[in-house]
Structure 1
Amino acid sequence: KEMLSEARARLANTQGKKAKRKAREKQLEEARRLASLQKRRELKAAGIELKTKKKKKGMDYNADIPFEKRPALGFYDTSAERNRPAESAMTNVALQKLEGKRRAEIADEKRRKRQKVGKEDREGGAINFVPARNAQLNKIKQAEQISKRRKLVLPAPQVGEDELEQIVKIGFAGETAKAVVGENEGSTSLGDYTPATTLPLRTPRTVRTGGAPTTPKTPGTVMTLRTPSRTPGPASAAAIKQLKAGLLSLPKPKNDFEIILPEVEETTEDADDMQGVEEDASDRDRKLRELQAAEERARLARRSLAVQRNLPRPATVNSRALWETSTDESAGMNDIELMICEEMSKLLSNDLVKYPVAGSKITGSDSAPPIEEFPDELMAVARQTINDEYQSLIQNNGSDTQDRLLPSDTELQATWTKVHDDINNEDNTIEKLQYIHE
């Protein structure tokens, strides 16, 4: 009854929000229908026929594109697609994998799982029951063995109570005698009758087989206490005397000995490293860099002294003019000086090509004249020889020899200016000839 009354109240509720909204929508729909009907009548009266098209509820696949997403206007940023993972290649997929497991398969799987769990529980209970049963049986067997054991049968004591009392009395008598004597001269004749250490008891005798009695035939009477042993007698003294005589008969030692050291093979640390563990890559690279740096330093040291000391050098070298000047008879040069001049010309040309100075007209196509390369040891010996000869010349001819051999600063400046002017004049002449030729 309560449910029926509640349903009636809901149906009779025509003043709620939902009822008002429904009535309003219905009124609007009726107004639209009347407006469209009036419009069609007016067009028909004017001679215009319109075909009414009923709107289909579904989608017209011939006219529309299902699930169409029209791109937005303008340029689209595709930078996010570069980091997007590529789709996996399409492979054949079984229909069973797409559809999933069926109810029957799920039920069978659960049933097999329950059966497996039940079997494990039954086997586990049986496994746990066996050790418990074995432990209980072992306890019962041990109890039966303990009840069946025989009583321990020990032999009769060898020392009775009377003998023990006699031993105690003898011990007391010895202590009393020592106390009475004290520190008298006769005390040295009395010994210490108390045992130093108590010896362990012997293993009790077991029952003999064959019906033999366990009591020993020799009675265990109290043994008379022994005196301590005396000082070693003449026998030990004779042995010591014989040993001393044998030691005296040994020959005297001789100090003429010679020490021979074992021969040790000279092995370097590098050889040991090669035979041992393989050299580390970082150590190998470090040694290679050090070797390259040493080679670079040696190469820089092979340059001429003018390049090493960064002295001023000519921007151009006229080898032909140098050769004509040196071969002129007025110069008065001998063969050795001519060789030195020729070598100087080669060095100047070589340094100008390899290490050009600012303002030079050397291009990359110019090649340096070939010069002979000498070993570093030979060059060091030559420098030392020249230095020794120069020092001996100064010592023989006096302290002012150096001033007489070397030109003054004024002469050097004049010569330098003259050479530069000649070179500039020659360059200007060459440029004029080139201009005239063009």
Structure 2
Amino acid sequence: MVRVIIKGGVWKNTEDEILKAAIMKYGKNQWSRIASLLHRKSAKQCKARWQEWLDPRIKKTEWSREEDEKLLHLAKIMPTQWRTIAPIVGRTAAQCLERYEQLLDEAQRRAEGLDEGEALREAKKLKPGEVDPTPETKPARPDPIDMDEDELEMLSEARARLANTQGKKAKRKAREKQLAEARRLASLQKRRELRAAGIYAGNGLYRMQKKGIIDYNAEVPFEKPVPAGFHDPSDDAFDKNTIKAREEKRRDQIEAEERRKDKKKIGKRRAEENPETIFEKKQEHKRSKLILPEPQVSDRELEDIVKIGRASDSIRELIDENPTSTLLHDYSQAFNNAQAARTMRTPAALSDNIAKAADDLLAITNAETPLLGGKNAPLHTTDFTAPSSIRAAIQTPNTVLAAFAQTPKQLYDRTPGTVVSATPGGATPFRDELNINREAGRASVEELRQALKSLPTPKNDFEVVMPEEDEGDEEEDMDTDWAEDAGEIDSKRAAILEKKKAKAFALRTEVFRRKLPMPSKINDAAFKRFPVKNIYDEADNLIRAEMRTLLKWDVEGIEPVEKFTLDELAAANALIEAEAARLGPYDEDEYMVKAVAMTSGRQVIVNGQAHNLEDLPPKEQVKAIKGEIESLTHVAKTIKGKSDKMQNKLKIILQGYEKIEENAVNSISKNQHDAEINAMELATFAELRLYEREAATQRIQRLEAEVAAVHEEEARLQKEFAEIAHQQWELNQKALRKMATTESEPVAYTNGAPVASNGTDAVNTKGDDDEAVAPTPSTDSA
């Protein structure tokens, strides 16, 4: 049954060392190649092991108080975002998560009042059968004394592959070595079998047949067998090769040769103008010296303290029993104080911010959903300010100077205070009541002033001598250990580039250098190669080819394969000038007249050569013209055939597009016609709108005049109706009075007032009747 290996599991020390060596060779990007060295680990696991444990930038020290505060603060702001928190804290994500869980466990134990015992530590360990989900973050397991065959094979293969620095395949070399050993054993077995059969083959020196080694005891050095009979004596020429040519090269020679090759490669890369940081040597980071802060009490201050104490003691011994001894100040009185003699401690923090933050996060984690309602979990603080911004600096107070320089005091009758709020001791001046050290500071200042006055006057006569540097040493200066300024490096590089550009510009043609007009496109037909009949034709073809190459360089930017140096170009110019001098002077005007005559006339080709048509005899002219007509006719037929073929192809290709174009043109025409009609209708209706607006205004005015006339007529008629109604009422009143005088009963008077038969006032009745009968003019319209 084939053994199946599942990749993963606990990392071993051997695998860690192989991984680190592979990263040193292959880098931190080729994880698949690195994982091929480890049979039990994948590329992803190798990358995680490096990023979580083996990277030297990872801090594995104890967590400081500032880091714990920062971790808890960031966990409150960005919960479960450990990949984001890790680079801010300066630890890995696994370390942050582990520390966070540890702080929460401590908060939980404090809340429950438990102690971390052995049972709790055992509960955190993996049980038999469980698999560690993150083995990359754990320390490596030590290597066993007796390693498995698989591990030994993996180790040997990794050693062979990592030792391969010259680009050769280690597996192929090992396979070739095994094949050579197999061939040697087969040959040895063959010889043994032949010897056992009584057949002796070879000279028996196969044991000494090693590469590059000669057995001078068994062989004649430099022996050449003489051929039998007549032979060519030229083969007996002495071979001048030394014995070193037959022996293999030593290791130091090979190493020196490799160094020369490396130096040549570096020079070639420098010539390619690569950045200078590639060639800088890696600086070894040495361990820095231990630099402690300066002591708060210097040696001089200690000497002053001792001197003051001794002076006080000596004076006390002399006049201790004198009544005036109480007038002297006791400098040792401050040291007699028990509290002053005690070493002051650094003030501790009033509260544990880390414990409070851990309790808050534990309460937030265990809180129920807010949908259930109720009160929130009580927190110590709801401030999200970073702890580093509110932390106060804690300093150790100066005990010696504070105790010595303080005012003598007693332990009673003082205001109670706290140690934390006390002002730290500083460099308070000594209480020198005997004026022992009053002139010490002034004397030191005076000493310094006198020493400065004794200095000679400066002489500003100096001379600057610049060192002479060769231009060829520019590349050697780059290899020195002195760190050159980046600006100087850029200026030197710019100067080198400017020289290269000037050299390249000098190699260009005269037309390009003088910026003369150049064609936009090269006509290749003008440089067609003509059949060679003599050496002049061959020279003409070479000149045409060179002209074509130079034109391509100037117009299209295609550099020629073969370039000439400045020396070669100067030599060519010298040859041309020498040949021109040998031909002698020539008349430029006559040469120009001939050139104009040759180019102004009509040129024809006769027998493969160009001639002026006027210089030919009549028969030759007719023949040349006929030939030209025939060639033009042939060219026209060829062009017509090509155009017909092209037209057919275009017809096939563009037929669909033509239909689309036709439909589009028809649609555009129709839309244009509709647009014109709509524009005409719009203009018509706009004009009609103006006319309608004027006519409507006139109609409204006419109707308003008619309405006004109707109102006037109505008012007149109403007035007339009111007058007629009044006249009718007056007539009715007259008729009633007439009837009253003729037909009504007589009126009785009582006390001078008329009384009707029914006892009512007749006058009032009459008045009421008059009011009732009186007509009221109507105001309604007719």
Is TM-score (shorter-chain normalized) higher than 0.5? no
TM-score (norm 2): 0.19
**The structure with more radius of gyration:** 1
TM-score (norm 1): 0.30
Q: Flag the structure with more relative contact order, 1 or 2, with Cα contacts below 8 A and sequence separation at least 6.
A: 2
